[in-house]
Amino acid sequence: MSDDATLIAAARAARERAFAPYSKFKVGAAIETEDGTIVTGCNIENSTYGLTLCAERVAVFKAVSDGHRAFRRVAVVADTADPTPPCGPCRQILWEFCGDIEVILANLTSDMGHHRLKDLLPLPFDARLLG
């Protein structure tokens, strides 16, 4: 298992690759798989905004497309004074593919907090509700 600093550094590096020409709001994410692999993602904007993908979803989808199915935690980094948690759709995707993982929030200089996904998404919609 990687340490927090390694995971956060990977998310910071991913943030530098963000494509955010419209909002200028760059976000990086790094997800750690059960076997210790770190997969990164950055936000990728589109002029319509509705087609924009957040860093967390990019990281999850890359990991899943590479065959990973079990995850330990995710780090999310933005250049903000306050922690920037995943948006609602990202929380849902994280829950669907990762379950109740640890979510580490950081900015460019410090670790800003650790949370359980169940605390960020207390009443998730998932397959158990589909009968």
Nearest to 120 by CA among 80, 73, 81, 79: 73
Catalytic residue among 16, 56, 96, 102: 56
- Is 56 a residue of the active site? yes
pLDDT digits (tens, 9 = 90+) for 117-127: 999 999 999 88
pLDDT digits (tens, 9 = 90+) for 50-102: 999 999 999 999 999 999 999 999 999 999 999 999 999 999 999 999 999 99
Residue 58, domain CATH: 3.40.140.10
Binning pLDDT at 50, 70 and 90, where does residue 128 land? confident
Instruction: Tally Cβ neighbours within 10 Å of residue 25.
Output: 13
3-state secondary structure of 77: strand
pLDDT digits (tens, 9 = 90+) for 96-111: 999 999 999 999 999 9
Once rounded to an integer, what is the mean pLDDT over residues 29-55?
Answer: 97
Q: Which domain holds residue 70?
A: 4-130
Q: Under a CB-based contact definition with an 8 Å cutoff, are residues 104 and 84 in contact?
A: no
Q: Under a CB-based contact definition with an 8 Å cutoff, are residues 29 and 75 in contact?
A: yes
The total of structural domains in the chain comes to 1
Q: Under a CB-based contact definition with an 8 Å cutoff, are residues 41 and 10 in contact?
A: no
